[in-house]
Amino acid sequence: MTVSDTLVPYPEAIERYEPVIGLETHVELGTRTKMFCGCTTAFGAEPNSQVCPVCLGLPGSLPVVNRAAIEYTIRIGLALNCTIAEWCRFARKNYFYPDMPKNFQISQYDEPLCTDGYLDVEVNGKTVRVGIERVHLEEDTGKSLHVGGATGRIHGAEYSLVDYNRAGIPLVEIVTKPITGTDADAPVAARLYVTELRDLLRSLHVSDVRMEEGSLRCDVNTSLAPRGASQWGTRTETKNVNSLRSVERAVHFEIERQAAVLDAGGRVIQETRHFHEDTGTTTSGRSKEEAQDYRYFPEPDLVPVAPPRDWVEQIRASLPEAPAARRARLRAEWDMSEADMTALSNAGALDLVADTVAAGASPADARKWWLGELSRRAHDTETELAVLAITPAQVARVAALVAAGTLNDRLARDVIDAVLAGEGAPDEVVEARGLAVVSDDSALTAAVDEAIAANPEVAAKIRDGKIAAAGVLVGAVRKATGGKADAARVRELILERLT
């Protein structure tokens, strides 16, 4: 076993070392067309069907900047409290990689569009202000597919295919300043930062921010220094961290690994590492390139970008309420606990509950249906709540039918099942299936009499004053009526007859 394979248990590692983390997040913008050409950006098309001379880098082709991508980037920069450059240029980042057709990437280097902002993140009841170093715009690369190996990686593959559909899609990189002082919470802080950033980006409508489809990607930097040291340690950069949970696990693992290296008197190597979802570990990738390796120079085929100030102010005025402010406002309006709000956020149900409340349901009812029954349905079918075939207005209608006594909870679940199965709106289902609660005495009396006749011993007990036994008869009546009987009224009718 080598030094790099051993780990120091997390609490011990934190006792002796202070972690500093940093995050570089790549966001694919949801523009209709690519960064420098008119090719569509739609996801999931046939490989190499969305390409043209510009994004394939053919000789003589010239790029033109996508205005919407500039606008989206300014939106992101303003939402992150950044300064928007009055004048900036794109740069060529030179490196050779098969999924990059031009052998350089058009990016931004020393003149990013947005600089020096921040994002506040709640970590275990404490506000951590994460500094934003820069937000810059670049183009995405294509995608390599390694065929024939066991792991899908290039090692062991027989051959590789490349798909350039993604090449040239606008990509925003958001780089934090080093995040210090989070101590044992560093892994959680990393996850919560990415979560907050994702929610913010979603609210700005600039990207669909799906980590599983790669439209939000994260590299996590971690370094450790002995407590009280005047200098930070050497950082590693962990790539391919493709879920929120993995962000936390990657930092956690790197802290335990680097502590072991330092304990043994070794030094942490500045390198790129790969995160492995199955084991929660990282392994060494390549040693990290320095900026000079990329031979950056200003992109000669593009004019500088100089967004007019009135345009920037117009964009600022159009920004939506920030997710954190919205959560605080809704929490107060709905009178919910912080834990309830967190549960709604984590389930992706905040907007659905807001829409259900707007359609007339009480916050408690909206929360109950979305986090209970509907979350179960989403889980069973492995889909997200938002794509279930029921609208917030329909959920509000079901809640109203329950509140009015037309449905009980069991019937309401049947109605929801039918709506999800495409049988129509709640009222149509109630009508078509005859699902309404039966509280009409004439319809219930016969069933009550039958239940009493069929259970003479129970009836005798009730006559003797053991009223609790009535539950058995209520159950029998409800069973006989397919769950539709109004339980409270049935109980009254039974007691009227037997006491």
Tell me the closest approach of the beta carbon of residue 139 to Zn ion, in angstroms: 10
The residues in 108-167 that bind Zn ion, with binding defined as CB under 5 A, are none
Binding segment for Zn ion (CB under 5 A), chosen from 55-63, 353-361, 398-406, 451-459, is: 55-63
Tell me the closest approach of the beta carbon of residue 88 to Zn ion, in angstroms: 23
Count of CB atoms situated within 10 Å of the CB of 142: 22
Residue (39 or 378) nearer to Zn ion, CB = 39
Residue (14 or 37) nearer to Zn ion, CB = 37
Beta-carbon contacts of 2 under 8 Å, excluding residues fewer than 6 positions away, are: none
Q: Which of 26, 43, 52, 237 binds Zn ion (CB under 5 A)?
A: 52
Tell me the closest approach of the beta carbon of residue 52 to Zn ion, in angstroms: 3
The residues in 230-259 that bind Zn ion, with binding defined as CB under 5 A, are none
Q: Which of 13, 55, 69, 385 binds Zn ion (CB under 5 A)?
A: 55
Residue (99 or 373) nearer to Zn ion, CB = 99
Residue (34 or 397) nearer to Zn ion, CB = 34
Crossing angle of helices 392-403 and 409-420, in 10° steps, is 160
Residue (37 or 255) nearer to Zn ion, CB = 37
Instruction: Please tell me the count of residues contacting Zn ion according to CB under 5 A.
Output: 5
Tell me the closest approach of the beta carbon of residue 306 to Zn ion, in angstroms: 25
- Are 494 and 462 a contacting pair, CB within 8 Å? yes
* Strand 271-276 with 236-241, pairing: parallel
- Are 307 and 73 a contacting pair, CB within 8 Å? no
Tell me the closest approach of the beta carbon of residue 50 to Zn ion, in angstroms: 7
- Nearest partner of 330 among 346, 347, 350, judged by Cα: 350
Tell me the closest approach of the beta carbon of residue 49 to Zn ion, in angstroms: 11
Tell me the closest approach of the beta carbon of residue 53 to Zn ion, in angstroms: 7
Beta-carbon contacts of 348 under 8 Å, excluding residues fewer than 6 positions away, are: 384, 385, 386
Residue (54 or 476) nearer to Zn ion, CB = 54
Tell me the closest approach of the beta carbon of residue 36 to Zn ion, in angstroms: 8
Q: For residues 261-289, b (16+ Cβ closer than 10 Å) or e, as one string?
A: bbeeeeebeeebbbbeeeeebbeeeeeee
What do you get for the CA distance between the two ends of the chain, in Å? 81
Beta-carbon contacts of 379 under 8 Å, excluding residues fewer than 6 positions away, are: none
The residues in 16-45 that bind Zn ion, with binding defined as CB under 5 A, are 37, 39
Q: For residues 456-489, b (16+ Cβ closer than 10 Å) or e, as one string?
A: eebbebbeeeeeebbebbbebbbebbebbbbbeb
Residue (102 or 489) nearer to Zn ion, CB = 102
Residue (4 or 48) nearer to Zn ion, CB = 48
Given the rule CB under 5 A, which residues bind Zn ion? 37, 39, 52, 54-55
